[in-house]
Structure 1
Amino acid sequence: MKSVCFFNNKGGVGKTTLLCNLGSFLAKRNGKSVLVLDADPQCNASAYLLAEEQLEAILRDGEHKSLDSFYEPIRKGQGYPVELPTIVSSARFGVDLIVGDPKLSIREDLLATDWAATRNGEPRGFQTTFAIKYLLSRLNKYDLVFIDMGPSLGALNRSVLLGADSFIMPLSVDIFSLMAIDNILKSFTSWKIALTDAIRKHEENEGEHFQINGHPVGWDLQFVGYVMQQYKAKVVSGERVPVAAFERIISEQTAELRQMCEFFGSDYESAKLGELPTLSSVVPLSQQAHAPIFDLGAKDGIVGSQYTRVSEATEFFERIAERFLGRVVT
C-alpha cells in the first residue's frame, strides 16, 4: 500500500476535485483498490463522494467511528485503538472512504502539545504525532490511500504528512501559490530537522528507536509531483503561451519547484503530472451527482458542449494516472 497526501498551503487549487477524480480513475480504469482518508475538517471529500442522505445517515449513526474518535484513547494515554475508523463505499466513484469529521480541528491542540513532547524525545509525543502513520499501517489491503487535507501548515497536517509516504501538490498560477511553495519548503525543512533531533533524543532516553508495527519512524515523505491549474493563454504560431501577467510567476514557480524536487531528491522533469483543464461547467454537475467527471452522462444533466468537457477530463485523468503510476509503485 502507498499513501499519498493531496496538499497545498493555498486553498482553491482544485485539490479535492483532483483527489476524488484521480482516485476514481485509478480504481475504475486501472483496477486499483483505493481508500480516501478525509483528514480535512471541512469534509469536502466526504461531501463529494457520498450522497447527502448517505452521509447524514453515517454521521447520525451511533455506531460510526470517525477519524476524530481514533484520537480519543491516545488523548487518554491508553495507546492506539483496536478498532479502525468506519470505512464506507462510494458507489459512483468506486472507492472506499473514511468520512471526515469537523471535530478533527479540535485535535490541533493535542497534536501541537504532543509535538513539543516529541521534540523532547518522549514516547507519548511520538505516539500522538505518528497516530496517522499507525492507522495507515493497518490499511494494507488497499493499493492506494489518498488523503485529503486542509490548506494549513498546522499540527494536524504535520502529523498527516509525517505519517504518509508521499504527497501531490495541486497548483494555480498566482502569487499566492508561489508564496505557498516557499512556506511549504521552509516548514518541511524545519520539521525534518526537528524530527531528526527528536529521534536522537528518544534513542538516548529510551535506548531504542520509536517504531510503528516494527518499522522505525523517520522523515520518509516523498514528492510525487504537482498538477497545474490551466492558466490564461494566448496562441502564438499555433501554441498556447502564457500572457505577460503570468510569465514571471511561472518562471518563479519553476525555480521554487526545482528547489522542492532538490529537497526530496526527486526528478523535476517527471514531477509535472499534468495540467488541469478548465472544467467549471461540469464540476458542479459532478458534485451534484456525486460522480466522477469522466463518468458523467445525460442522466447527470450533461448536455451539448459539456460532453466535450467530459471527454477532455477523461483524457486528462488518463494522462495524469499514467504519470502518477510511473512515479508511485503500488
Structure 2
Amino acid sequence: MATAVRPIMDGVGDIEEVEPVTVTQDLWLLPGDLELSRFEDRLSDAWPRGFTGNDQAALRVTTAFHRIIQRAAERVDAEIVLIDVGPNLGAINRAALLAADAVLMPLAADLFSLRGLRNLGPTLREWRSTWRGTVLPKVPPTISAPQGTMSPLGYVIMQPTMRLDRPVRAYQRWLDRIPIVFATAVLDQEDFTIGQRYEIATLRNYQSLMPLAHDARKPMFDLRSADGALGSTQMLVQRCYQDFKALSEELLRRLSAGVG
C-alpha cells in the first residue's frame, strides 16, 4: 500500500497500481507498511480542502485507498474485500473506512472497549454525514469515490477468560453492558431492544496457538502436528477452526441480508 501512494506523497502523480499478493487459492493480500504513517499528514490536510469540491488533488488523496482497493479487487475479480485497521480514529483509518460498506468491531470485555464504542459511533456518523452530504456530491466523475456507507455490522468479543464455555463473572459484567452501548452510541438508537443480537461471535483465548501460528506463518486453525500442535493442542486447533467457520458464516449471512 505504501508503494501505491508514494507518487502522491512525493508530489509527482496519482496512485500507482499494485499487484495483490497471492496467499492461497482465491485469497489475496495488499500488505500494509509502517511507511504509510507518512501519509497521515497528507490525509489530514486533504480532508477539509476537499469540502469545496474545487481541489481535485485533495480529493484524490482522500479517495486514494478506495481507488487502490477498487483496482486490486477488479484485477483478481474479488467478491469480498476485508480492510484491517488499527484501534484509532486517525486520518488513515478515516480514509480506509470511507471505502467500507460495513464495519465490524472487535471488542474486549473491559472499560476501554466501552469507551471506544462511545467514541466510534458518533465519529462514524460524523464522517458519513460530512462525506455524503458535503464532499461526495462535489466529486467530479473523473475521480472514483466511495459511497462512505460504513454500516455497523456488529461486533466480535475477543478473548474473554472462559470457564465451562462461559465467561467468568468479572468479564460478564462488561459483556452485559456492551449491547446497550452499541445500540445507543453506534446505532444511535434511543432505546435498547432486549433480545436484539448485535454480537456476531465470541473468539476465546486460544492459548499457545498464536505463537505457534506466528512461527509457522499460517492461521491458528490450520496448524498441524509438524507445526507443534500436538495432543490437546490439536483439539484446540479444531475448536478454533469451528469458531472461525461460524464467524465467517454469520458475517456472510449478515452481509447478504444487508443488516447491521
| TM-score, normalised by the number of residues in structure 2 | 0.83
| Larger RCO (CA within 8 A; separation ≥ 6) | 1
Q: State whether residues 155 and 201 of structure 2, in contact with CA within 8 Å, keep that contact through their aligned partners in structure 1.
A: yes
1:249 aligns with 2:178: no
1:164 aligns with 2:93: no
Alpha-carbon displacement from aligned partner over 1:249-271 (angstroms, at most 9, x marks no partner):
2232111112356349xx98454
Q: State whether residues 286 and 296 of structure 1, in contact with CA within 8 Å, keep that contact through their aligned partners in structure 2.
A: yes
Q: State whether residues 104 and 153 of structure 2, in contact with CA within 8 Å, keep that contact through their aligned partners in structure 1.
A: yes
Structure 2 letter corresponding to 1:226: Y
Q: Which of residues 19, 36, 61 is equivalent to 1:86?
A: 19
Alpha-carbon displacement from aligned partner over 1:102-156 (angstroms, at most 9, x marks no partner):
1100100100010121234333222211111112222131122222222221111
Match of 1:136 in 2: 69
Match of 2:246 in 1: 319
Show the 5 A alignment for 1:148-187. Answer: 148-187=84-123
Q: State whether residues 52 and 135 of structure 2, in contact with CA within 8 Å, keep that contact through their aligned partners in structure 1.
A: no
1:240 aligns with 2:174: no
Match of 2:43 in 1: 111
Q: What is the CA-CA distance between 1:176 and the residue it aligns to? A: 0.7
Match of 1:284 in 2: 211
Q: State whether residues 223 and 229 of structure 2, in contact with CA within 8 Å, keep that contact through their aligned partners in structure 1.
A: yes
1:295 aligns with 2:226: no
Sequence identity percentage: 27
Alignment RMSD (CA, Å): 2.8
- 1:145 to 1:241, Cα distance in 2 relative to 1, 3 A: closer
Match of 1:72 in 2: 6
Match of 1:39 in 2: none
Q: Which of residues 134, 142, 160 is equivalent to 1:231?
A: 160
Structure 2 segments unaligned to the other structure (5+ residues): none
Structure 2 letter corresponding to 1:171: L
Distance in 1 (CA, whole Å) between partners of 2:246 and 2:78 is 22
Distance in 2 (CA, whole Å) between partners of 1:75 and 1:87 is 21
Counterpart secondary structure, 2:36:
helix
Distance in 1 (CA, whole Å) between partners of 2:80 and 2:142 is 19
Counterpart secondary structure, 2:213:
helix
Q: State whether residues 119 and 197 of structure 1, in contact with CA within 8 Å, keep that contact through their aligned partners in structure 2.
A: no
Match of 2:235 in 1: 308
Counterpart secondary structure, 2:86:
coil
Q: State whether residues 99 and 147 of structure 2, in contact with CA within 8 Å, keep that contact through their aligned partners in structure 1.
A: no
| TM-score, normalised by the number of residues in structure 1 | 0.67
Q: State whether residues 166 and 221 of structure 1, in contact with CA within 8 Å, keep that contact through their aligned partners in structure 2.
A: yes
Q: State whether residues 221 and 240 of structure 2, in contact with CA within 8 Å, keep that contact through their aligned partners in structure 1.
A: yes
Alpha-carbon displacement from aligned partner over 1:204-224 (angstroms, at most 9, x marks no partner):
xxxxx444766x644311222
Structure 2 letter corresponding to 1:312: R
Q: State whether residues 118 and 198 of structure 1, in contact with CA within 8 Å, keep that contact through their aligned partners in structure 2.
A: no
Q: State whether residues 133 and 212 of structure 1, in contact with CA within 8 Å, keep that contact through their aligned partners in structure 2.
A: no
- 1:269 to 1:287, Cα distance in 2 relative to 1, 3 A: farther
Structure 2 letter corresponding to 1:228: I
Distance in 1 (CA, whole Å) between partners of 2:56 and 2:256 is 32
Q: State whether residues 286 and 293 of structure 1, in contact with CA within 8 Å, keep that contact through their aligned partners in structure 2.
A: yes
Counterpart secondary structure, 1:73:
helix
Match of 1:62 in 2: none
By percentage of residues, which structure has more strand? 1
Structure 1 segments unaligned to the other structure (5+ residues): 1-66, 204-208
